A and B are shown apart, each in its own frame.
Chain A
Amino acid sequence: MSILIDARNISKIYNEDSEAEVKALDDVSLTVEEGEFIAVLGQSGSGKSTLMNILGCLDIPTYGSYLLNGEAVNEMKPSMLSRIRSREIGFVFQGFNLIPALTAFENVELPLIYQGTPQRERRERTALALDEVGLFERMHHKPSEMSGGQQQRVAIARAIVTNPPIIMADEPTGNLDSKSGSEIMRKLMELNNEGNTVLLITHDQKLAHMAKRIVTLQDGKIITDVTLGANRQDGREVFS
């Protein structure tokens, strides 16, 4: 198994050397191997979102080194970060983050457009991704015409359409009812079973226990890093 995420001694400090200095992340090291399903667990303010932003190449650390799939991300310029995000990572956000003016199909197609995929291939892959999340029939609906669960499935389709090595989900069930939430979690587990690496950010203990490994953050530091064996739960139990 090759190492996908190799973050060493990562710190993120806001307003450094001033009175308002905030250490959002303090000397965090984390490695994630291909095929893992890892949950980053922490209360609000623990630094888990900052960690996801850095691991997701939306932000760069103040200190430390970060190798993503072998590339040193912490030294990259914004345009390179865009390329890395486009190629290596699929995001699923708490608030779905679909573009309201575009249909489900167009939303899912967008990452491929930015990758420069030719139209024909783009359409095929978009349709496949929507089929994968069970929304093939609803591809021409706009987000406002869909339920929250459906919207989040569109977001998952958009995350997987480029076939990225890593899927990062930030509180993906936070805005959903329990039934839709369990669907989304099962989908993530299914993707993991198919070989995708999944990184789940959550504040919910029960949700975290559906992952194979739980990293707990507190005050910007990793306090525990546990690999679950038989204790792992599936979606049915969590949402029952």
Chain B
Amino acid sequence: MNFFRAFNMAMKSIFTNKMRSFLTMLGIIIGVSSVIILVTLIQGYTQKQMEQWYSMARDTISINVWSEQADISQDLFDYCLGLSDYITAVTPNSQSWVNNIKFRSKSIEDTTLYFGNEQYSDTMGYKIISGRDISYSDVKNRVKVVILGERVRKELFGLENAVGKVMKIMGEDVTVIGVYEAKMEGARWSQDDMMVMPYTLMRTFSQTTTINGYIAKAKDGEATNTAIGLIKTFLASKFSQEWFYNVYSQNEWQDEMSESTKMMSMVVGGIAGISLMVGGIGIMNIMLVSVTERTREIGIRTAIGARRIDIINQFLIEAATVSAFGGLLGIGVGTIGSIIAGAALIKTILIPSPFIMLGAFLFSAVLGIFFGFYPANKASRLHPIEALRNQ
């Protein structure tokens, strides 16, 4: 008996027991859609985060020095500038929590103020959307200028052009020279909730006055590793203890993070997969009922020439069809669910990847075959005489 015939028969039997078939499928539908939604959500979330990371932090090297043993900030800075084969930009990096920020009648509670040099924006991967960047002379002459993140700009200036306006930070007059491109629609606590100033203004706007962090932007992944090695050697010559400083790349961080989210999506997918298993057991259960109900039919088929393999095929294909149908519906529900959950939770339109969809579909069909095998085998072992005697 060929596959198409068997499939037709399976469809017939599915449609004669609509309600039962649907309930059986429900287990698979829930299983498949929950796997799809959870995995898609995690992947979407990770991807969104990674995109932000990539845009700013790929191939950057963080250098932190905690010891006062030697004041090496100028030396370190000069050394990094000297590594021009590997490093394209380097900036001091310090930050401070500031409040009392005003423009005319408008004010905001607080935000993070970063201190850097004229290469800060390049190093961090921030784009100036209007106005200009901090210049060397701003840094050298300690000119009170600031670049605003989207959140600060939005709250203080709204529709007004911010560039060239004078605002007050901690009572000091500061001129806005530029605005960064929004990354998170100007949301509070996001990467848009910030301002950047020349680091030479630290004495005025921050309690801490020493610079103990630098960020360098390397050419590429390979240059990153080379530069880290060189900088570590340099620092080792300056400090007696290794824990006085550390040098690391954001790449390691990112790789670790993407590795851990991969793990997480597998674990969560696996947990959701348990519900798929439960759905599979549902199929096995209903197939066993079906075999018992159709004992006589199996007897008739065997009597008129069906071999064991024909009976096995019939029930396996039926189980796989129910299961694959459930899988298809599950993909539909999962896709809709992903779109809704994505919009609600991470404000992104998430479409499950074709790979997940195909995987879920194939897995559910295989599940049907796996859980259908026991009932099918049981059916095929019925003795025709006993089966025909069954009413």
Interfacial residues, chain A to chain B (CB-CB below 8 A):
53, 56, 58-59, 78-79, 82-83, 85-87, 91, 93, 97-99, 101-102, 110-111, 113-116, 158, 162
Give the docked Cα–Cα distance between A82 and B297 (Å).
15
The 4 closest A-B pairs by CB, nearest first: A86-B305, A114-B305, A82-B307, A111-B304
Known contacts A83-B307, A115-B305, A97 near B300 by CB under 8 Å: yes
Binary A-proximity of B298-326 (CB < 8 A = 1, otherwise 0): 01111111111110000000000000000
Please determine whether A91 and B303 come into contact, CB atoms closer than 8 angstroms. Answer: yes
A53-B385, A79-B309 are known contacts; what are 9 more A-B pairs with Cβ within 8 Å? Answer: A82-B305, A82-B306, A83-B307, A86-B304, A91-B304, A97-B388, A99-B301, A111-B304, A113-B5
Quick one: which of B12, B302, B307, B308 has the most chain A CB within 10 A? B307
Find B302's partner among A82, A93, A99 (CB 8 Å cutoff): A82
CB B365 to nearest CB in A, in angstroms, measures 24
Q: Which residues B1-34 have CB closer than 8 A to chain A?
A: 1, 5, 12-13, 16
CB A193 to nearest CB in B, in angstroms, measures 24
Known contacts A97-B388, A113-B1, A85 near B305 by CB under 8 Å: yes
Give the docked Cα–Cα distance between A93 and B383 (Å).
17
Chain B contacts for A83, CB-based, 8 A: 305, 307
Give the docked Cα–Cα distance between A87 and B16 (Å).
31
Find B301's partner among A59, A78, A110, A115 (CB 8 Å cutoff): A110
Chain A contacts for B303, CB-based, 8 A: 56, 58, 85, 91, 97
Nearest chain A residue, comparing its CB with the CB of B4: A119
Interchain pairs with CB closer than 8 A, number: 59
Q: Would you call B384 an interface residue if the criterion is a C-beta within 8 Å of the partner chain's C-beta atoms?
A: yes
Give the docked Cα–Cα distance between A59 and B307 (Å).
14
Please determine whether B308 and A78 come into contact, CB atoms closer than 8 angstroms. Answer: yes
Known contacts A82-B302, A83-B305, A86-B305, A114 near B310 by CB under 8 Å: yes
CB B376 to nearest CB in A, in angstroms, measures 16
Quick one: which of A53, A56, A113 has the most chain B CB within 10 A? A113
Q: Is the interface of B mostly helix, strand, loop or mixed?
A: helix
Quick one: which of A93, A101, A102 has the most chain B CB within 10 A? A101
Q: Would you call B296 an interface residue if the criterion is a C-beta within 8 Å of the partner chain's C-beta atoms?
A: yes
CB A130 to nearest CB in B, in angstroms, measures 16
CB A76 to nearest CB in B, in angstroms, measures 12
**Interface magnitude class on chain B:** 20 to 34
Interfacial residues, chain B to chain A (CB-CB below 8 A):
1, 5, 12-13, 16, 296-297, 299-310, 383-385, 388
Quick one: which of B12, B304, B308 has the most chain A CB within 10 A? B304
Give the docked Cα–Cα distance between A10 and B5 (Å).
39
Nearest chain B residue, comparing its CB with the CB of A113: B1
Known contacts A53-B385, A58-B384, A113-B1, A101 near B16 by CB under 8 Å: yes
Give the docked Cα–Cα distance between A86 and B301 (Å).
10
Nearest chain B residue, comparing its CB with the CB of A112: B305
Find A82's partner among B296, B300, B308, B385 (CB 8 Å cutoff): B308
Known contacts A101-B12, A101-B13, A114 near B384 by CB under 8 Å: no
CB A11 to nearest CB in B, in angstroms, measures 17
Give the docked Cα–Cα distance between A114 and B301 (Å).
9
Please determine whether A79 and B297 come into contact, CB atoms closer than 8 angstroms. Answer: no
CB A50 to nearest CB in B, in angstroms, measures 9
Please determine whether A85 and B304 come into contact, CB atoms closer than 8 angstroms. Answer: yes
Nearest chain A residue, comparing its CB with the CB of B305: A86
Chain B contacts for A91, CB-based, 8 A: 303-304
Chain B contacts for A115, CB-based, 8 A: 305
Chain A contacts for B384, CB-based, 8 A: 58
Give the docked Cα–Cα distance between A102 and B294 (Å).
13
Give the docked Cα–Cα distance between A85 and B306 (Å).
9
Find B304's partner among A59, A79, A114 (CB 8 Å cutoff): A114
Chain A contacts for B307, CB-based, 8 A: 79, 82-83, 114
A–B complex contacts, Cβ < 8 Å, 30 sampled: A56-B303, A58-B303, A58-B384, A58-B388, A59-B383, A78-B308, A79-B308, A79-B309, A82-B306, A82-B307, A82-B308, A85-B303, A85-B304, A87-B305, A91-B304, A97-B296, A97-B388, A99-B300, A99-B301, A101-B12, A101-B13, A101-B16, A110-B301, A111-B304, A113-B1, A114-B1, A114-B305, A114-B310, A115-B305, A158-B304
